[in-house]
Structure 1
Amino acid sequence: MDLKTSLALVLMGLFMEGLHAMKNNVCPTIRDYFHMENNSNCWYDFAADSTVPEIIQRTGYPLIQYKVQTADGFQLSVFRIPDFSQTKPPIFMLHGVQSTSGIFVGLGKRSIAFQLHDAGYDVWLGNYRGTEYSEGHASLNVTEKDFWDHSVDDIALYDVPAMLQTVRHYSGSPHKIIYIGHSLASTAAMMFASERPRVAKSMVSLFILVGPAYKMTHMTSPYRLLFPLLYPALDLSKSLNLVQLFSRGYSRRLTRPTCLASPVLMLGCSALLNMFTGPFTDIAPETIPVYFNQFPGGTSLKTMTFLRESTRGNFRKYDYGPGKNNHVYGSTAPPEYDIKKIEVPTFIIYARNDWTTTKQDAFYLYKQLPESIRAGIYGVEKMNFNHNDYFFGKNADKLVTKPILKIIENFLKRSQKQYSQNTISL
């Protein structure tokens, strides 16, 4: 046995000892959680305790971290799982509301970020302002209420282009970016591409919008009854200077120990969450602690007001009220984002039992897009599959990741064929 082999065995032994020293934190059934500590059915999953960079590295993948400063001073974290071959386009992924890039790495090797990297893509994971990984600013402190005075408009018109520009600059790829956005990230993509269509087209070759949040008039979640209270809650929190308390991702320090304190509380928290996303979930019991390690990730209350607007059939800029709207926009009502102006090919993925972004709303969105950019629509018809299962569900790799890989592959083949035909015709 040579020295390298011996050293490798020693390191492996130390690693295994370290794992054994870790306490069990996940179990395959809810019943197992009742006696988890000495239960041989349970095990330790570092994704339930680790940050996104730690998960990437501990899963065995390379990592480069970037700090991106927007034009209005916000400092965002972007995590890259690099592939320097440049044979395929870079893929940029962005999360939804009260989430982080952790949704793309929480299932270990089965996670979409790792499967895309295994398929040869240069993978970039964005975190927009207000989330736990993007709480920096050039002049504002995260404890100041002015830090939290931002809406979806700011995410769309500042954060998204800044992160995409970073991908283009540092990837060095000759290919345009493929953008995969979940929920509010799809909202931001459409707002950005509506407001700055030529800029979006110059950087992005394809939008894949997963559970897209456009006009969510068919939302079936009972929580929509609370959405009219978002504006009063925002005003009250501002007046009491508590806006940062209700916005920061550190609220998870309370929800995580509470929701994971017992199997009963775990079920209760999951049920409360599923009332918003859909009652029938594909998230396995062993994934629940991983999920609550990422959720909530933080966001501004002002961003959350988009939910009220969208369920009323609006897709427009932030509503300040008639007086201030007239000052800011030159009209008493906020202007609408015109998705007819989008020039980037767009593919939509929905789930049949997603209570938040429904199948009806997904088809409505698809029909509203210019026919020239409709790249396709695909639905997860599984009964127990909701808004958070696209990336956390136990069947997410089969029902979402593999179809996305196929969607990208087919799109690239068509694009190459069109390029070849145009070259020949020239």
Structure 2
Amino acid sequence: MMYKITNTCGCFLLMMTLIYNYQCSDIFVNESARPEETVHKWGRTENFIPTREKQLNVQGRTRPNPKEASLNTVELINGRGYPFEIHSVTSSDGYILELHRIPYGRHKKMAPKVSGQPVFLQHGLMNSDNVWLLLPDALAFTLADAGYDVWLGNARGNTYSRRHVSLDPSQEDYWNFSFDEMGNYDIPAVINFVLTKTGSQKMSYVGHSMGCTMFFICMSLHPELNDKIDVMIALAPAVSMAKSTAPLMVNQAPFAPQIKFVFDLIGVRAYQPVDSFWNNLRKRYCEPNLFLRYSLCQNTLFSSSGDDYHSLDLNLLPIIDGHNPAGTSVNTAVHYAQNYMAGQTFQRFDFGVEENQLRYGQTTPPTYDLSKVTSDVFIFWGQSDKVSAPTDIAWLETKLGNLRNSIMIEDPLWNHFSFLFSADAKRVVYDKLIPFLPQPIL
């Protein structure tokens, strides 16, 4: 009887996942594709936003501007009164990544040359770089105003990084990647690009969730790059997933091979792009009220992580919907599922016995050697995080080659996306991580 029940649940989850994701199969073009290298001049560009409204201050806090739901990243930056640049970086395997730069703060005069300490911010699974910008006192703006030269990364396959030197995103081969390739190819390309552009010897790195996954893979496979990082700040790092209680892991990971098989069969390539049918429906008809947001209108980010809206201004939810989820490959989600099913470990993508032998020289996927991560690492983690569970964080602490400190957020309800969307994020996290960064050159 238990066997039948389990399989019934599995079939139900499989069908719900297919219905939820089928619309993603034909979403493959980045309509804002830009040339190989596009750099906007220093200063602010006024022609992006027709009417720049001041954000309202309510009960001592700034109310989110609902118009930001329809703005892209550079429009968000410009709308807050900050300068920006757009850059394209090509990885060694041909993926073209879009970076956005905030070279200095809102109140600093324009300068022909930026002298601030470069800090690179890398988002997590199904996100784009806008997650560092949505709060009124978001981390990217906080760092820029503190004197840092802020660079925002976009992982391959998301809204802004959906180009390749030879492959078209409508082709199946384009989507044959997971976070392994992001760490192995994308992060080395970005590090070298930022240091070349700024003329700096080192840069700081701040990652959230998969942004930490990518960094640890990069330093494990390319340990020479540790010397180019002065500090790495890991917010809710997603490495070992063994103790995760997130719905995405618990409910879908056991059926990941079957889900991937059917996705391959029907041609689903992208996983959760922002402009899918369901996401467009939610953006159009859902309002920021608790009943809808916990039922029909829950964003994939929250339904996948199991997060509630602790300390979150509900007016921010439609703006989050406007940008997230931002899409990735099916293989990226599968790779996390594999790590969850493998227990307390951190391993490369499992292609099956025969292809593992060809790729790795062994029948099972090798593990990443985290002892090779020798740059200074500071971890911030939440007690109520269902994705990056405290037990998995404790495991990670024992594996890193140079962990400087592990900081538990004092708020007992702090969860996975609180780091990005909580109204208390600046006070609880951002103001505490800045002292760990090298002082900017002012």
Partner of 1:62: 83
Q: 1:321 to 1:406 in 2, by over 3 A?
A: same
- 1:167-218 Cα offsets, whole Å, 9 max, x none, are 1111122x411000100110111111011111x2232111111100111222
Question: Residues 300 and 325 of structure 2 are in contact (CA less than 8 Å); yes or no, is this contact kept in structure 1?
Answer: no
> For 2:193, what is the secondary structure of its paired residue?
helix
Partner of 1:254: 278
Question: Residues 119 and 203 of structure 2 are in contact (CA less than 8 Å); yes or no, is this contact kept in structure 1?
Answer: yes
Task: Tell me the TM-score normalised to structure 2 length.
Answer: 0.79
Partner of 2:213: 187
Figure out how many residues of one structure are paired with residues of the other and give that number: 378
Quick check: which has more Rg, 1 or 2?
1
1:334 Cα deviation from its structure 2 partner: 0.8
| 1:79 counterpart = 2:100 | yes
| 1:95 counterpart = 2:123 | yes
Partner of 2:338: 309
Q: What one-letter code is carried by the residue in structure 1 that aligns with 2:121?
A: M
Alignment of 1:156-195 (within 5 A): 156-173=183-200, 175-195=201-221
Superposed CA RMSD in Å reads: 2.9
Task: Tell me the TM-score normalised to structure 1 length.
Answer: 0.82
Alignment of 1:33-48 (within 5 A): 44-48=65-69
1:363 Cα deviation from its structure 2 partner: 2.0
| 1:204 counterpart = 2:233 | no
Q: What one-letter code is carried by the residue in structure 2 that aligns with 1:128?
A: A
Q: 1:303 to 1:327 in 2, by over 3 A?
A: same
Q: 1:116 to 1:354 in 2, by over 3 A?
A: same
> For 1:127, what is the secondary structure of its paired residue?
coil
Identity of aligned residues (%): 26
Q: Which runs of 5+ in 1 are unaligned?
A: 1-11, 30-40, 414-426
- 1:109-129 Cα offsets, whole Å, 9 max, x none, are x01001100010000000010
Partner of 2:135: 107
> For 1:91, what is the secondary structure of its paired residue?
strand
| 1:215 counterpart = 2:240 | yes
With 267-276 and 155-164 compared, the bigger mean Cα shift is at 267-276
Partner of 1:243: 269
Aligned equivalent of 2:432, options 400, 403, 418: 403
> For 1:154, what is the secondary structure of its paired residue?
helix
Aligned equivalent of 1:332, options 363, 367, 371: 363
With 228-237 and 317-326 compared, the bigger mean Cα shift is at 228-237
Q: What one-letter code is carried by the residue in structure 1 that aligns with 2:344?
A: G
Could you tell me how far apart the structure 1 residues matched to 2:94 and 2:379 are? 32
Q: 1:146 to 1:89 in 2, by over 3 A?
A: same
Q: Which runs of 5+ in 2 are unaligned?
A: 1-45, 105-110
Partner of 1:360: 391
1:323 Cα deviation from its structure 2 partner: 1.3
1:293 Cα deviation from its structure 2 partner: 1.4
> For 1:68, what is the secondary structure of its paired residue?
strand
Could you tell me how far apart the structure 2 residues matched to 1:74 and 1:124 are? 18
Could you tell me how far apart the structure 2 residues matched to 1:210 and 1:43 are? 23
Alignment of 1:6-21 (within 5 A): 18=51
Could you tell me how far apart the structure 2 residues matched to 1:171 and 1:231 are? 44
Aligned equivalent of 2:323, options 290, 294, 312: 294
Question: Residues 98 and 295 of structure 1 are in contact (CA less than 8 Å); yes or no, is this contact kept in structure 2?
Answer: yes
- 1:260-310 Cα offsets, whole Å, 9 max, x none, are 513343342338754524345222111111111121100001011122233
Aligned equivalent of 2:382, options 351, 365, 369: 351
Could you tell me how far apart the structure 1 residues matched to 2:204 and 2:299 are? 34
Q: 1:203 to 1:15 in 2, by over 3 A?
A: closer
> For 2:328, what is the secondary structure of its paired residue?
coil
Q: 1:367 to 1:16 in 2, by over 3 A?
A: closer
Q: What one-letter code is carried by the residue in structure 2 that aligns with 1:266?
A: R
1:53 Cα deviation from its structure 2 partner: 0.8
Q: 1:46 to 1:279 in 2, by over 3 A?
A: closer
